[in-house]
Amino acid sequence: MFKENRGVFVTLHKNGDLFGCIGRPYPDQTLEDAVKQSALGAAFNDPRFPPLKESDLGNVTIEVTILTKPQEINEDSKDIEDKVKIGEDGLIIEKGNKKGLLLPQVPVEQGWSEVEFLSNTCTKAGIKPDAWLDEDVEIYKFQGSIFTEKTPNGEIVERNIDESS
């Protein structure tokens, strides 16, 4: 499996709070390489957080979400929300050179509806929240398998999306 090309996101939590999340949504490199690069990115290059320090390691848990290949949702815009399944699908929304991605676990953790999930993915892309209704917007969905440490440097388990992180 590690030699298969897969998309992946690595999420770091420090003392239970988000501390970094970087990934590669498309299967353009092996899972092994994607995890390595994404882990380094989450630890040192997520612009929302300071770089990870050695002193942080005892307080950080790592979560890896292995993604399926994104599939475009080719539907009339008024029916798109019916094609999104909360608790199963992650989303990528693209308009021009702007792109936003939210993992499948995010709308569950936030308690969002399908419309809120679409709107928040647009906001992440830096476009208006209702841009998912526009004809020139591309929307893709994907699924993910989540593997997480129970405690820092602890046992790794597969986590259901409806479980809290």
CATH of the domain at 87: 3.30.1490.150
Q: Identify the residue whose tokens are 């979400």.
A: 65
Q: What is the pLDDT of residue 1?
A: 73
Q: What is the pLDDT of residue 65?
A: 96
Contact 80, 118 (CB under 8 A): yes
Determine, yes or no, domain membership for 15: yes
Q: Give the per-residue pLDDT at 3.
A: 87
Q: What is the 3-state secondary structure (H, E, C) of 78-128?
A: HHHHHHCCCCCCEEEEEECCEEEEECCHHHHHHCCCHHHHHHHHHHHHCCC
Summarised one tens digit per residue, pLDDT across range 98-120 is 999 999 999 999 999 999 999 99
Average pLDDT over the chain, rounded to whole?
Answer: 92
Q: What pLDDT does 75 receive?
A: 64
Query: Within this chain, do residues 52 and 12 fall inside the same structural domain, yes or no?
Result: yes
2 part of a folded domain = no
pLDDT at 107: 96
Give me the residues of the chain with pLDDT under 70, please: 75-78, 163-165
According to the model, what pLDDT value does residue 9 have?
Answer: 96
Write the CB contacts of 37 (distance below 8 Å, at least 6 apart in sequence).
Answer: 24, 29
Total domains, the chain: 2
Residue 161 confidence (pLDDT):
83
The torsion angles phi and psi of 117, rounded to 5 degrees, stand at -65, -50
87 belongs to a structural domain: yes
Residue 64 placed within a domain: yes
Place of tokens 């499996």: 1
Query: Alpha carbon 102 to chain centroid distance?
Result: 5
Question: 111 and 153 share a domain?
Answer: no
Domain encompassing residue 63: 7-68+144-159
103 and 150 in a single domain? The answer is no
52 belongs to a structural domain:
yes
User: Does 125 lie in the same domain as 89?
Assistant: yes
The answer on 124 and 88 residing in a single domain is yes
Q: Does residue 165 lie in a domain region?
A: no
In-domain check, residue 164: no
Q: Which residues pair with 144 in a beta bridge?
A: 67
Residue whose tokens read 């002193």: 55
CA-CA distance, 138 to 136, in Å (whole number)? Answer: 7
pLDDT at 154: 93
- The pLDDT value given to residue 163: 58
- State the Cα–Cα distance between residues 68 and 52, nearest whole angstrom: 28
